[in-house]
Each structure stands twice: as C-alpha cells, then as structure tokens.
Amino acid sequence: MRRVPHRRHRRPLPPHATSRAAVAADQRVNDRGQAIVEFALVLPTLLVVALAMVLVAELGVARLALQHATAEAARAGALTNDDEQIRGTLAATVAPLAPERVTSAIAPPQDEPPRNRDPRGSMLTVNASYTLPVPLGFVGLPRLVVTASASRRIEWMP
C-alpha cells in the first residue's frame, strides 16, 4: 500500500499561489502553448502527405482515362482506317484530362504499308502520353508522364 505524505511533508506553495488548485490551473494554462507548437511542427508533414495522396489519385485517374481513350481510338481506327478519326476519338474520350497535354502516335502511319493497300487484318497501334502537372514542382519532383497503348486488327476494307 502506498503511503500518502502528510500535509506538512508536501512541498510549500509558491508565494503567489493561494492553493494547490491555483498551481494546477497555472500549469494547464502553460501547457496550451506546447500543443500549438507540436501542431505547428506536425502540420507541414501532414500537408505533404495529403498532397502526395492527391497526386497518387490524379495519377491513377490519368492512367485509367488514357488507357480508355487509346482503346477507343484503336477501335475507331480498326473500323475506319483513318488517322484523323483516330486522333478525334482520342481527343474526345480523354475527358477528365486536358486534351492539349495529350500527345499521340499511330503506328504504322496511314500512307505506309500495310495500311495503304490492303489493310484488313494488319495491326494498328495507338500510343498516347500525358504530362501530369505536379503541384510541388519547386521541391524537385520530376515531371510525371503517363503513357498508354492499345492495338487492334484493322477490320476496314477499301
């Protein structure tokens, strides 16, 4: 059993305090500043983690949107064998992304074999890339580039 010290063995009160409750209240007031300092030290780390989570989410959305757009563009190319139609479909289906940041390449080009004479059955590949803007670019993060590719056999007959 722990022995409670007698009242006369306790430390004396400071001269300005009238009771132990006043001393405890003074300590509570002084501890409030410590919590603010700790919060100020942790806040930048929390903000960087939150921004990183948003960036990873944006990266995932960009990858899914670009993959869907290249698949639709390759499908349009398989049905029409027209490069302008392929680029138009790619620009129209890349919806949540900025179309001006999307670059595309079609292989093989429309006027080269096997797409120029009898293209039916030959492979058409649509490649696209998107440069993702990084909100903390001043920190030294590299530019993030998302790429996607889709291939289809051409069904169009001249």
Residues of the chain with pLDDT under 50: none
pLDDT at site 14: 60
> Which residues have C-beta within 8 Å of that of residue 13, sequence separation ≥ 6?
19, 20, 23
Residue 123 contacts residue 107 (beta carbons within 8 Å): no
pLDDT at site 45: 92
What does the pLDDT look like over 22-52, one tens digit per residue? 666 666 655 667 788 888 999 999 998 998 8
pLDDT at site 107: 94
Residue 86 contacts residue 61 (beta carbons within 8 Å): no
pLDDT at site 116: 79
Q: Which residue has the tokens 């306790």?
A: 10
pLDDT at site 134: 81
The CA distances from residue 151 to 47, 73, 127, 137, in Å, are 41, 9, 9, 34
Residue 61 contacts residue 94 (beta carbons within 8 Å): no
pLDDT at site 51: 87
pLDDT at site 114: 82
